[in-house]
Amino acid sequence: MSALLGSAPRETFMTQSPFTFEANGLVLAVRLTPRAGRTGLDGVRKQADGRPVLSLRVAAPPVEGAANAALTAFVAKSLGLRKAEVTLVSGETSRTKRLHLSGDPQMLAARVQTWLDGEARLGG
């Protein structure tokens, strides 16, 4: 019984965050809008199934991987990572994507949260 109670807060945290922890980093769920007026973060949104995703937009068009390249470069720059530390793991031709962020999972989670908090203060 105590094992169930002990897992509840983490499970709640995980369902409210657009990322999941892995041994070698984080997987970030993203909803991308290509060909936007400007590149930026729009905050966390819920998909129709209730899962949270990070809503991002890029100015690049969805042609020949340009939007995906802009996405990984923007996420890397925003989180202070090298471009090689941000890789697209699924959703190459979809608006819903999964990015793997390489590094210490706790440090990366803190950086993502700081990024989200900063955008919330700026009005996003």
Summarised one tens digit per residue, pLDDT across range 16-33 is 799 999 999 999 999 999
d(CA 43, CA 56): 7
Domain that holds residue 62: 17-119
- Count: domains in the chain: 1
In a domain, 86, yes or no: yes
CATH code: domain of residue 100: 3.30.1200.10
Contact partners, residue 92, CB within 8 Å, separation at least 6 = 65, 68
In a domain, 36, yes or no: yes
Query: Is the pLDDT assigned to residue 110 strictly greater than 80?
Result: yes
For residue 10, the model assigns a pLDDT of 36
In a domain, 124, yes or no: no
pTM: 0.84
Query: Is the pLDDT assigned to residue 119 strictly greater than 90?
Result: no
In a domain, 33, yes or no: yes
